[in-house]
Chains A and B, each alone.
Chain A
Amino acid sequence: MKKIVLMGNPNVGKSVVFSRLTGANVIASNYPGTTVDFSKGKMRIDGQRVEIIDAPGTYSLEPSNKAEEVALKVLENADIVINVVNATNLERNLYLTLELLEKDIPTIIALNLWDEAKHLGIHIDEKELEKLLGIPVVTTIALTGEGIKNLVSRIKKAKTNPEIKPTSEEGRWIEIGSIIKKVEQVEHRHHSIRDRISDLTIKPLTGLPIALGIIFTSFWFVRLIGESLITYVMQPLFDNIYLPLVSRLGEILGPGFLYKFLISQTYQEIDFVESLGMITTGLYVPIAMVLPYIIAFYFMLSLLEDTGYLPRLSTLLDNIFHKLGMHGHGIVPVFLGLGCNVPGMLATRALETKKQRFISAVLLSIAVPCMAQTAMIFAIFSKLGTDFTYAPIVYISLVFITLIILYFVAGFILNRVVKGDNPEIFLEIPSYQIPHLKTTFKKTWMRIRWFLKDALPWMFFGVLLINILYLIGIIKYLAILFKPLMEGVFGIPGETSVVLLTGFLRKDLAVGTLLSFPLGTFSPMQLVIVATMLTIFFPCVATFAVITKELGLKDMAKAVLIMISAATIVGISLRIILLGV
């Protein structure tokens, strides 16, 4: 099958062109040996099936980071290249175009953001450009789909230009200069509303309050979407359709080993959260309680990303993150990690140096709770009801404030201790774009698939293992073993050791195990300690596997030491502060 590769600078609307060209069946895959992902899809040209690959955005063919390396490798197998060019920024984009033409692969140019260029008073003579470059040039507005048909019909006309020979960097810029002179005219224009918004969101005085507002609103939406999905879709599904089935199965099985294993440890009424059966809690928690938030979360994040807001946030936060040994881009793994730590870990790859990646990965695993944990933390404290001194939200805030402080303190220390470079931020701030919903949905779906494929099976495996350990009595034995440690050092009941052990396999279930203890076992402050330590002490097995792959065994061992010490120090500090003993 022929391979068509989309190449272009970052932020040129490449992925929108991609999603216009391909159907629903698109897969994101990792380039072998890396975790940089690129998307693949299929389309038909004159009845022939061809493969379309969306290479990571790159400014030149001399790679300066992992993503650009992958772009180069993807290019090696291309039969045809569609070079997506940003019409609002022709001069800079042509550098990559010239490099591509030197490769002698048949190429066609999609001159995208054509409408924008007009708005900005940039006039490009595309016919002349076509003549000068010697390859077809098609103007497109990927967002509305204009020009895409034309692009498809001309793909087979893609050709090479043997006159363009490999040259030096300077040679290319001279060539570009002469092309621009002939094809582009720029009119003076006044500031648009979009420029004003762009200004307001990047200037610190206005930008920071706006950033807080945007983050707050986004999380509010995540909650709204997540809760609605749970109330109107998941819960009815489980209560009305699944529960009768499981109850019926329970009657058939009767009391015994299998019942305990599959449905519930006790023979009371089935409770999807507390029963801890393979097909009750094991399915319900990840699918009905966690997945809705994951969907909501990644939708909002993809939306923010596609508008072009995130680089501005990175700029505003760079100062703080630089002191933590990363740069502003370090916020991205944190955001992704709040959904599920697995994609968060993978996003640390976007950071430049080993030091930055190590710090980012460690902080992510100790101080950033995934959606599963967050959902469960909310659940336990909400269960407390109103009989206690403070409202549940106070205790929940205590947990999160502790985690935020930990993120900064640990980052600050790691920055001093970890050897390596922490280069300055250097990134393009794209102009704001109206997101193309289909593209945003596709991206959301690909991220949800990470969760379904890489995290969900582990979650299921976790509950399997926990159930086996319970049934053969190992958990009870370990609980007795660790009891003195829990009571003596952290001032929390000995039963907690079970929770922490479970926590290694399934964070969400661990908090769920807490729920199944009788109400009086913990004081609310003790619960705060347990919930916080649970987050810090180990990431779930799935994340653990990914970190090991990312960092290698040696750095992983260091990371584990940091996790254990952080959990211990925070546990003891909280004991002193909250319990006063």
Chain B
Amino acid sequence: MEQQNISLLDLSANKKARILDIIGGHRFQKKLRTLGIREGQEVSIASKQPFRGPLTINVCGSQITLGRGMAGKILVEEIE
């Protein structure tokens, strides 16, 4: 089945996805990568804070909290 590319923001809470791409400058990409948010990694949503608050994601064996602006720049494909 062909999957659409979506951003982390659109990923539902109980789904797993794979990171395809990170949109942004070199520094931004590096900042994310050193915390384990890299192309090819599996990712899932641990929590979403209400009123456009931050997301907490499971990635690379740890949890990371990040703002929605950043999450929107992480493109993923659903795998489960």
Please report A residues at the B interface, Cβ cutoff 8 Å: 59-60, 62, 64, 88-89, 91-92, 95, 122, 169, 173, 198-199, 202-204, 207, 311, 314-316, 318-319, 322, 327-328, 423-431
Contact = CB atoms under 8 A, between A and B. Distances in A.
Listed residue (A59, A92, A328) with the most chain B CB atoms within 10 angstroms of its CB = A92
B64 to A, nearest CB: 6
Interface residues of A: mostly helix, strand, loop or mixed? Answer: helix
Interface in B48-77: 48-54, 56, 60-70
B70 A429 contact: no
Given A89-B60, A427-B65, A59 B50 contact: no
Contacts of B56: 202, 315, 429
B54 A428 contact: no
Grouping DSSP codes into helix (H, G, I), strand (E, B) and loop, the B interface class, with mixed when no group exceeds half, is mixed
A428 B47 contact: no
Given A91-B60, A169-B30, A316 B49 contact: yes
B30 A318 contact: no
Given A59-B35, A92-B35, A319-B54, A429 B49 contact: no
Interface in B11-31: 27, 30-31
B34 interface: yes
Contact of A64 (B31, B48, B51, B61): B31
Contacts of A429: 46, 56, 62-65
Nearest to A59: B34
Contacts of A173: 33, 38
A59 B64 CA distance: 13
12 contacts: A89-B62, A92-B36, A92-B62, A315-B49, A315-B56, A316-B49, A319-B50, A328-B54, A424-B69, A425-B54, A427-B65, A428-B65
Contacts of B63: 198, 202, 428-429, 431
Contact of B36 (A91, A203, A207, A311): A91
A423 B66 CA distance: 10
A424 B30 contact: no
Given A91-B60, A173-B38, A424-B67, A319 B49 contact: yes
B49 A428 contact: no
A198 B46 CA distance: 10
Which 8 residue pairs across A and B have the least CB separation, nearest first?
A424-B67, A319-B53, A429-B63, A59-B34, A92-B36, A315-B65, A89-B61, A60-B34
A315 B63 CA distance: 11
